[in-house]
Every structure is written in structure tokens, then in C-alpha cells.
Structure 1
Amino acid sequence: MTSISTFQKSFIYVQSAQGLENVLRLTQAICQVVGSLQDSPASAKPWGTAVQKIGLSRRFFRFFGYVPALNRAVSVLTDRDESLSGVGFVLPLAEASRSGFMGLYLLLESLTILDAMDVYVSTSAKKLLTESFKFWFYGLVSSFICIIWQLAFYPSAVPKKAVVNEAVQEAMNEKLSDDGSKPEQPQKLTSRPIQSREMLMSDLVAVSCDILIPGSRLGWIPVNDFTVGSFSIVSSLVYGKRRWISVQRSAAANAVAHL
């Protein structure tokens, strides 16, 4: 397969929804940091406006995010999620809480979108948004519990995963057969395995950074805009690395499928 340049990979990344959202997230955090460093309200106003407008644009990317989140919570509570079988009750309960709280956060936030756009100004929008931040905070706390519990009690609960993407593997297996049918024993692409612990540690860093956003908005964590923006940059880079890999794998799978 022909290798592509970093510029082409970057273009592929920003063309994807998750890549573009992460770029906007990083830009918003940078604007927040720069705005907090201004020496006058007048000079800080443009940066504050940028933070607000970028934040509004990002909300459309997660507008229906409450659907899979709440569905995940129901699946865990009804024992339909096999990935959490045989790990006791604390981890499934924490995971259900995380998904449920995040789903409620996204649901309440979506109800205020018209007010945020100044299309339909509602007196209850501010209260709904405040309640949504509470659920966001609870969801991040639940995520923190999930991560710590897995690191402490289930360090090997999730086996090592191969770096190769399933879509790429399937597409390559289809190409291996000359007559158009899949081989009886498809070849397996192998690469260096990644420890699940690494993923958990990166999640721990991101959650620890992100909890400052709702915490500061609610007044529960006394930090300034510079601190919130700085930690948001860190979490954006953590998420960005993971999303970059995901987008490039999907692009590689599509390229293989069209060979």
C-alpha cells in the first residue's frame, strides 16, 4: 500500500467528525488560555467570544450522544454487556453510573441548544445547563472510579489487543482469495500488542483534566480559566492521539477495500 504524507493524514483527520471535533476542542482550550492572560477585559473579550462560539459548534457533534450513553447504561444494568461479566458488581455499577450520568448530561445539554443559539430564549435553560454540568461531574467521578478499580483489582481483566484494525483485517482477508471467496483459514495481520493498562492510564489523565471544566463552572473546584484551559489542552492531546489512530485505521481500511 502506498504510504501517505503527514499532511495528507492531517487532512484525513480534520475531514472526519471526531478529528474535527478534537481540533475545535484544542482550539477552544488554547483560546481560553490566551484570553485568561490578557491584561484588560476589552482585550480578553474576543478570546472569550471565540471560546463561546467554538463551544457552541462542538455541541452539535454530541447532540444525540445521550442515546448510546443511556443505552449503554441499560445494557450494563440488565446484564446484556458480556464485557463486564465475571468482574463482580462494583465495576458494572460504576460503568452504569458513568454512562447514565453522561447520558443525562448530554440530554439536558441538548435541550438548551436553541437558547444557546438565541433562537428560542428560555428562562429555564440556565438551570438545565447547570444541572447538566452536575451530571457531567458525576459521570467523570464514576469514570475515575471505573479506572482506579480496574487498575487496582483487575490489572489483567482485559487481554492485550493487537494494534491492527478489524476492518483492515477483514478487507485484507477478502483480498487474499483469488476467486472472490474468503479463505477457510484467513491470514492474521500481527503487530506489537498494546497493554490495556496504557489505555487506562491515558483515560485517567484525561478524566483528571476534564473534571475541572464542570467543577469550575459549578464552583465546586476553585480554579481559574488559565488552569482549566491548560488542563483541557492536555486532555485534548490525549484524546487526539487516540482519535488520530482511529481515523487513520479507518482510512487505511477504506483504501484496502477499494483496491
Structure 2
Amino acid sequence: MFIEQLIAFTTDSVGLERILRLVHSLLQIVVSVPILVGYAAALLHTEKFRATAGMAAVHGTAAAMLAGARDRVNLGRRFSRMFRFIESFHGAHQLSMQLMGGGGGLGNDATRAVAGRPHPKKRFRADPWLDVFARTFAGIYLLLETATIVDALDVPGLAVWGPERAAVLHVEGQRYWFLSLSCSVAATLVRMAHVARDVPMPPPTDDEKHAHMGSPLRGDDNGSGDNGNSDETQGKDKIEMLNKERLRLRRIIQGRMTQRRKWQRALQARLVVLLRKVVADGADVLLPGAVVGWTPLRPVTVGGVMLFTTLLTSYDVWLRCGREVAAAKEAEAEAAAAKAAAAAKAAEEKAAAAEKES
């Protein structure tokens, strides 16, 4: 199971981008700490080179090599999300059309009207509109990043905008990334405040519904003592019905307590997911803020924040890959069981036909 999940994670587009981001963050930390650059220089250069070039030159060469590797890894990450702006703009358009009641998908007018009709209260909630803004700002950021990717190749004589304008567009893209993450944090905080409303109670089971159908005391008449039974017999029947009623009420209470425990577990799981998202987005806000100048950070702090958020967000991708692997295995098991059942049925029919012929 672990190997299959690891394969799914490393071959997933988001998982691969998280791996590159992990390498990027580690290189950023190493480049920013002189003692780590010294260790890297000891590994990258021979003793003869260190003796002839001097320690300052060795450190400078190692730092330049590591910075170049960091920039190449970052460029690979940019290529992996080169067309992601289309997804962001499309998601923002779909969500805004649903909130305005106009639909957003393909199909006839009736289908769009039904699919696009929002919940009466959802249209006036803040979190879906914050999601629209977050996706729109993310789309602008990704579009500007894609527009400057040719200049980021740093090939002599090959440029679209030129160094100065490409740098300006890069900073503007970081502003929109900052706004996107800020809106995402605000939307997640709103969802956390209303999580109890968004997580419904689980529906009752058939046994619980049957327990609510009626009381054994229903139809009991205090004036029905003319049926020939003695007072002692009627008293025993009354006690028996009371015991049955207590048992029924106990089953109802136990069922409701079980439902509430399930609901609390679902609520806690949802809160954990939202908390992980708000922490990751809140920490990621510092990265574009450092580029723009709104949240001044040291380079090593930028690398540490990137490493922390990478591990945090990679966990969600890892869990999703695990669910996909489990679902695929379950589907394979069901297909194998159906195939075995069909083969057994065919064998029975063949045996019955042979017996009939004989």
C-alpha cells in the first residue's frame, strides 16, 4: 500500500510540484546560511581546488552553484503550472455564475438553471465570494508568471519583455498572489466559524427509524379493565409495557448519541482540514509579501516558511493519493469478485447442461 501510494504521489502533477518545492526550499535555506554553504563547498570541490583557490573563492563558487540550482528548480516548478491560470479563471467564473444564479456549465437552459441555482443563504455568505476573489487573483498571478517565463529562461538574446519590465511584472504577480492567499485565509476563517452549520448530522439508520415508530403504551386505556383479566394480570402487563417503553427510549437515546458522536468526528475532521489550510495559506502569505516588501523577511526565513508550508500541504496530497489507491484497489477487488461469480455461474450452467444431456 505504501509503495503504491508513493508512486501515485510522485506521478501526480501536484505531488511532483510539491517535491520540487521541497527541493527549492532546502536549496534556499542552504544558500542563505554560510555554514551550510561551507559544508556544500566541502562536498562539491576537491581538496586541491580548495587549497589553490582559497576559501572565499570556494564559498563564492559553491553559493553560485547552489543559487543556480535553486533557480533552475524554481523554473521547473513554473513550467509545471504554466497553464494553471486557465483553471483558476474558469473556477472563479463557474463559482460566480453559481452564486448569481446563472449557472456556469454547459448544457441546455433548464440544466444550467437547475445546476446554477444557489442555496438561498449561500449567495449572501462571505466565503464563496472570497473564493471568487481568491481564484481571480490567483489566475492573474499565474498569468503574469506564464507571460514572463521566456524571460526567466535567461537565454542571451531571447526575451519578451526585457529585464526591467519582466522584473516589474514579476513583482506585480507577487502582489496578486498575496491578495489571493489573503482572500483564501479569510474564506477559510469564515468556514471555520460556520463549520457546525456546514457539516450536517448523519441520517438515522433503519433500526433507529423503527425505534421511533411507536410506543408500546400507545392505545393503552385506563378504563379497559372489563376484559375479564384480574388486577394482578393487568398490573403485570402494565409493568411489561413500561419496561418495553424504557427499552425503546434507551435505544432512541443510544442512537442519537451514536449519531452525535459520528457528527462530532466529522466536525473534528473538517476542522483539522480547515486549520491546516489556514495555517499553510497564512504562512505562504509571507512569501510574496517578502518580494513586494510588505512582510520583510530574511532569505533563510523565506526558505524555512516555504519548507514548512510544503510539508503541510503535501500531507493533503499524500492523503488524497492514498484514497485514490484504496478506491482503485477496492474497484479491482469488486471486479475480480464479479468475474469469479460470473465464472462460477458459467461453470454451474455448463455442469447443469452436461447433466441434462447425460
| 1:223 corresponds to 2:219 | no
Q: CA 1:10/1:92 → structure 2, altered by over 3 Å: closer, same or farther?
A: closer
Where does structure 2 lack aligned partners over 5 or more consecutive residues? 36-58, 104-115, 203-261, 337-358
How far did residue 8 of structure 1 move? 4.5
How many residues align structurally? 226
| 1:66 corresponds to 2:85 | yes
Q: Which amino acid aligns with 1:74?
A: H
Question: Secondary structure at 2:297's aligned position in 1?
Answer: coil
Question: Secondary structure at 2:198's aligned position in 1?
Answer: coil
Q: TM-score, normalised by structure 2?
A: 0.58
State whether residues 5 and 325 of structure 2, in contact with CA within 8 Å, keep that contact through their aligned partners in structure 1. Answer: no
Measure, in 1, the Cα distance between the counterparts of 2:150 and 2:137: 22
Partner of 2:199: 159
How far did residue 125 of structure 1 move? 2.0
| 1:50 corresponds to 2:69 | yes
How far did residue 41 of structure 1 move? 4.2
Measure, in 1, the Cα distance between the counterparts of 2:31 and 2:139: 31
Question: Secondary structure at 1:220's aligned position in 2?
Answer: coil
Partner of 1:20: 16
Q: CA 1:107/1:256 → structure 2, altered by over 3 Å: closer, same or farther?
A: same
| 1:95 corresponds to 2:131 | yes
State whether residues 98 and 140 of structure 1, in contact with CA within 8 Å, keep that contact through their aligned partners in structure 2. Answer: yes
Alignment of 1:140-151 (within 5 A): 140-151=181-192
2:325 alignment partner, one of 247, 251, 254: 251
Q: Cα RMSD between the aligned structures?
A: 2.5
Partner of 1:107: 143
How far did residue 45 of structure 1 move? 2.0
The structure whose residues are more often helix, as a share, is: 2
List, as ranges, runs of 4+ consecutive aligned residues in structure 1 with deviation greater than 6 Å.
81-84
State whether residues 161 and 196 of structure 1, in contact with CA within 8 Å, keep that contact through their aligned partners in structure 2. Answer: no
Where does structure 1 lack aligned partners over 5 or more consecutive residues? 163-189
Q: Percent identity?
A: 27
Q: Which amino acid aligns with 1:147?
A: T
Partner of 1:200: 274
State whether residues 22 and 236 of structure 1, in contact with CA within 8 Å, keep that contact through their aligned partners in structure 2. Answer: yes
State whether residues 158 and 196 of structure 1, in contact with CA within 8 Å, keep that contact through their aligned partners in structure 2. Answer: no
State whether residues 77 and 93 of structure 1, in contact with CA within 8 Å, keep that contact through their aligned partners in structure 2. Answer: yes
Q: Which amino acid aligns with 2:21?
A: R
Partner of 1:238: 312
- Select between 40-49 and 68-77 the one with higher mean Cα deviation: 40-49
Q: CA 1:155/1:14 → structure 2, altered by over 3 Å: closer, same or farther?
A: same
State whether residues 155 and 197 of structure 1, in contact with CA within 8 Å, keep that contact through their aligned partners in structure 2. Answer: yes
Structure label with greater radius of gyration: 2
Measured against aligned partners, the alpha-carbon deviations of 1:69-109 in whole angstroms (never above 9, x if no partner) come to 11222223222467876232422221111111001111111
1:37 alignment partner, one of 26, 33, 37: 33
Measure, in 1, the Cα distance between the counterparts of 2:311 and 2:118: 28
Q: Which amino acid aligns with 1:96?
A: V
Partner of 2:355: none
State whether residues 210 and 235 of structure 1, in contact with CA within 8 Å, keep that contact through their aligned partners in structure 2. Answer: yes
Measured against aligned partners, the alpha-carbon deviations of 1:32-55 in whole angstroms (never above 9, x if no partner) come to 111111255443222221221111
Q: TM-score, normalised by structure 1?
A: 0.78
